[in-house]
Amino acid sequence: MKLWFKYFLLGGLSCWGPEIIVAAIGAAMHRLWELPNLILPLSACIAYLLLLRSERRLQSDPSIAGCMLLGVWVLAPTLILIESTFRGGEFRSAGNDFWYLLLFSFMPLYVFDMATYDLSLGALLVVTVFLVLGHWRRERNHWVFPLKRYTNMVLGDKS
């Protein structure tokens, strides 16, 4: 598995995973909507800081913050729907709606809308700001998209 994909999965799961766990453990805790809003940013920020300190990194490695941020936003619709299943939603019987979900995963406005209805918009914005600042301050020289590598392949440059 590629390193950027590991960071991508870790970003989505460290951000939205605790919300799924809270929803699975206690449907009676639905009145405590603040709990996931506190756990979401904390778990994502702690995961980022632990990864940043524990990984030996080369200049050519991807940005942990950038890949995690992509994972948070791209995996959000699926993970929010899984979480809503534990709260009584009907994701299990989605059927053909799966393809709409896949399409909407790449539309940030839809993620923004889903997080608003999930009452986790504040947490999503905190995680987004934290990871953008983390990339800007600590990983500016690491890539988020390997554009140079693919540009050189397309143009025929072997270096």
Q: Residue 155: which pLDDT band, with cuts at 50, 70 and 90?
A: very low
**What is the tens place of the pLDDT at every residue in 106-117?**
677 788 888 888
Q: Under 8 Å CB-to-CB from 139, ≥6 apart: which residues?
A: 52, 63, 64, 65, 66
Residues 68-91: tens digit of each pLDDT: 998 999 888 888 888 877 777 665
Over residues 139-151, the pLDDT tens digits come to 777 766 655 555 4
CA distances from 96 to 36, 78, 101 (A): 29, 14, 9
